[in-house]
Structure 1
Amino acid sequence: MLMERTKKRQYYESTERSCNQMISKLAVTLRNSVVKENDTEIIIKQLKDGSADKITSWVQLKILAIARPAVIIYSYTMLVIFLRIQLNLISGHMYKHAQNTNNGIIGTEVQKRYMALSKYFIDEGIKDLSEFIQNKVSEVTASLSLTEQLTLRDLEQIYWAITSSVSADSSKDPVKNFIYYTLQHDIENSDTSVYSKLRDQMLDVSESEEVQDLMQKNIRTGFVLLMDHISVYFSEPSKTNSVQNKASFSEESNAENSILTRKENISDFSGFVDLNKTTIALAKIIPIMNGQVPDNPISDDIAENWLQRLIFNNDLKTLGANLYEAVC
């Protein structure tokens, strides 16, 4: 009995390592998809060379820059939960089969097809998710002008308004419609194959209240982390100026920014900055938001930081462990 428990634990630990490796590997591809679907480079280039309507381009840039980190938070959470469910289910079945050959065989082709399920989300589902979040950002920020002075609290409220709007859309909310974004509808109801049964188990677990609660909880945590990343720009003026200089789109827009944007640092004689009173114009916040998920990953950016937190999240590990144990 002790030997069996030891073997089961070792098999699970191997699954855990494989899962973490797969998460890290697929997150690279997913990030590239997010950047592609929320591409700001073309708009920035057009603003620099003056080849596009400035007002229209700034509105588009505002939407994409704010949406980009939001899509990362949602999509990374979805990817990690998807893979925790996927790998622990099949690992549990394979361990069970190894102990009792009467439980049915999960052949190599079935394994390959089952493990390839995540490809749909990375290639196709992310397009729907990006478009959906962009639309929500557009709705929430429609009345905000580039000259609007925002505190960190104001920016936080904008993101909470976006997540509230996402949650209120019952037909497309990724928490309530997880499988819509992550699984291709390619199986007939009459299909009784081993692959279909594995996939159906994934569907059942993914639609459970427990998974929805976990996803919602982690998404909220992700946006708190995002605000932590952004708060430094409200407390250190030099960082804001540095980002603004790097993101200078044209001489005209820079001149306009110097006139129309104002950063107000409220501090006492000790140098303490009151983040609740420090304001930055939206025109300066846009490049800050865009820089949270740079085209080329940098150490400790929001995407990398969020991914590591998800990988080592105890609640998500427990979800996988419970699924593995239930199947075994």
Structure 2
Amino acid sequence: MFSSIRKFISRNSRKFAIGGAIVGGLVFMLKYNQYKLNEWRRQEVQQVLQRTRRNQHFESTERSCAQTIMNLAGSIKSSVLKLLDSDTVINNLKNDSCDKITAWNHLKILSVSKSVAIIYANVMFVFTLKIQLNLISANMFKNSQKTEEILEFNETVQEKYLTLCSHFMEKGIHTLTLYIKQKVEEVVNSISLTDKLSIRDLELLHWSIMSSIIADETNNPIKNLTKYMLLTTVDDDSSEPLNKIMTVTVDLLESDEAQSLMQSSVRSGFVLLIDRISKFFTQKFDNSGVAHSSDSNVKNILNGDVNTNSCSQVEPYFNLHEIKIPMAKLIPILNGQVQNLPSSHDIHSNWLQILISDEKLQTFSANIYEAFSF
């Protein structure tokens, strides 16, 4: 019996070898596939967890950025109001201690300049701070993942990097405000106090100011953002990570995408301003289409008491664009758009909230974070 078994095995040894190799190969492939499947599942879980952590970190960064913007933006408003001090002019007018025509013309320049300066300053500040904080957070996240060739972005480097933006608070905002006042003066000087303006005229006036700024290649705050925002010269002993991230920051601020978004935001700010002012064009008017405001209303607005709800509603059949208001009566309305006391209803606070929640800016911030967090 054993001899017959040996003979059978001997006769079919080749078949047994091939069969064994096939079975062994199948077992090996099964084990290998199971290993690769488990490895793939493990990597997928890790990627999902890392993506979740990255998203949570980015969302936390956005919340911190919004809070930081709101905390620091008050200093920007204070600087603008200090440089464009309309209160002194108003007090002089009340006390009859000045030439009224000259004072009203001066107030005209200051009133327009304040809103324009606030719109530009907030756009520049929000964009710069979002870029800085997202770069910091992206590098911090990359450090936490312990990847190779990462920047040693310690607390000292972070502190030095963030203080670069203090240049805007100390000097840049002054340069920007005075520059905008100059541009406003060039455009608004041709308008007398007795000229009657429609909402369309007022819109064209602000577009003219923006066009004048855009045409100035040397001082345009959007095209020359780093000159206003950042102290681009650092100490010779500055660390390599600081120099690298500064270079990246400047490149981002000067990129076509960033400048296009900022210019678009400035336009949106002007649209917001005109929308706010248009509410005052719904006051009572005579048959000639010229709006009239009582002296008491003008005085209230001049004192900063701007309440859009107090305006009488225009007749439904009347075209808003046909209503005209004398420039002298528009000045208090323009002046009241940026109020001295903290308010959630002035254009400064309103404009900040819109910028912080802007979807295009959030997408831009997310792209920066994603690009530098891997």
**TM above 0.5:** yes
2:339 is the alignment partner of 1:316? no
CA distance in structure 1 between the aligned counterparts of 2:318 and 2:341, rounded to whole angstroms: 31
Query: Is 1:151 matched with 2:202?
Result: no
Q: Which structure exhibits the higher relative contact order, with contacts defined as CA atoms closer than 8 Å and separated by 6 or more residues? A: 1
CA RMSD, Structure 1 to Structure 2 (Å): 2.2
Paired amino acid for 2:108? K
1:196 aligns with 2:243: yes
Match of 1:325 in 2: 370
Q: Does the 8 A contact of 1:48 with 1:248 survive in 2?
A: no
Using the TM superposition, give the Cα deviation of residue 297 of structure 1 relative to its aligned residue in structure 2, in angstroms: 2.8
Question: Contact (CA 8 Å) 1:84, 1:319: kept in 2 or not?
Answer: no
The answer as to 2:300 corresponding to 1:246 is: yes
Structure 1: distance between partners of 2:185 and 2:162: 35
Seen in structure 2, the aligned counterparts of structure 1 residues 144 and 111 have a Cα distance that, compared at 3 Å, is same
* 1:158-197 → structure 2 map (5 Å cutoff): 158-187=205-234, 193-197=240-244
Contact 1:243–1:288 (8 Å) recurs in 2: no
Q: Distance in 2 between matches of 1:86 and 1:159?
A: 30
Unmatched 5+ stretches in structure 2: 1-46, 285-290, 304-311
User: Kindly tell me: are residues 243 and 107 of structure 1, through their superposed partners in 2, closer, same or farther at Cα, counting changes over 3 Å?
Assistant: farther
Is 1:65 paired with 2:119? Answer: no
1:78 aligns with 2:124: yes
- The correspondence for 1:28, drawn from 74, 86, 90, is 74
Instruction: Determine the C-alpha separation between the residues in 2 that align with 1:226 and 1:243.
Output: 20
Q: Which residue of 2 aligns with 1:17?
A: 63
Q: Does structure 1 residue 106 correspond to structure 2 residue 153?
A: yes
Query: Of residues 76, 87, 92 in structure 1, which corresponds to 2:138?
Result: 92
**Which deviations, in whole Å up to 9, do the C-alpha atoms of 1:146-192 show, x marking residues without a partner?**
11111111111110000000000001111111111101232268965
Q: Confirm or deny: 8 A CA contact 1:235 1:273 kept in the other structure.
A: no
Q: After alignment, is 137-146 or 48-57 more displaced?
A: 48-57
Amino acid at match of 1:246: N
Q: CA deviation at 1:63?
A: 0.6
Question: Alpha-carbon deviation of 1:28?
Answer: 1.6
TM-score, L = length of structure 1: 0.89
Cα distance in 1 for partners of 2:226, 2:354 equals 23
The answer (yes or no) to whether the contact 2:81–2:340 under 8 Å persists in 1 is yes
How many residues are aligned here? 311
For residues 42-57 of structure 1, what are the structure 2 equivalents within 5 Å? Answer: 42-57=88-103
How far apart in 2 are the matches of 1:191 and 1:229? 47
Equivalent-residue separation in structure 2 for 1:83 and 1:154 (angstroms):
35
Q: Is the 8 A contact 2:302 2:336 kept in 1?
A: no
Q: Shift of the alpha carbon at 1:247? A: 5.2
| CA pair 219-4 structure 1, distance change in 2 beyond 3 A | same
Correspondence for 2:321 among 276, 284, 295: 276
Which 4+ runs in 1 deviate beyond 3 A? 188-192, 237-243, 270-273
Measure, in 2, the Cα distance between the counterparts of 1:104 and 1:180. 26
| Matches of 1:217 and 1:129, distance apart in 2 | 19
User: Given the alignment of the two structures, is residue 214 of structure 1 paired with residue 257 of structure 2, yes or no?
Assistant: no
Superposition deviation, residue 50 in structure 1 = 2.0
Q: Deviations over 1:96-144 (max 9, x none)?
A: 1111165232121211121222222122111111111111111101111
Letter in 2 for 1:162: I
CA shift, 1:298, in A, is 2.4
Are the aligned partners of 1:33 and 1:123 in contact in 2 as well (CA < 8 Å)? no
Aligned in 2, Cα 1:196/1:24: closer, same or farther, shift over 3 Å? same
- DSSP-derived class of the 2:322 partner: coil
- Provide the residue aligned with 1:302 in structure 2: 347
Greater Cα offset, 315-324 or 98-107: 98-107
Q: 1:118 aligns with which of 137, 157, 165?
A: 165
Contact 1:233–1:240 (Cα < 8 Å) also in 2: no
- The amino acid of 1:39's aligned partner reads D
Answering whether residue 195 of structure 2 is matched by residue 141 of structure 1, we say no
What amino acid maps onto 2:335 in structure 1? N
Unaligned runs of 5+ in 1: 250-264
CA drift of 1:31 comes to 1.3
Distance 1:216 1:189, change over 3 A: farther
Structure 1: distance between partners of 2:167 and 2:174: 10
Instruction: State the alpha-carbon separation in 1 of the partners of residues 258 and 187 from structure 2.
Output: 27
Match of 2:85?
39
Structure 1 stretch 166-175 or stretch 236-245: which is displaced more? 236-245
CA contact 2:139–2:151 (8 Å) conserved in 1: no
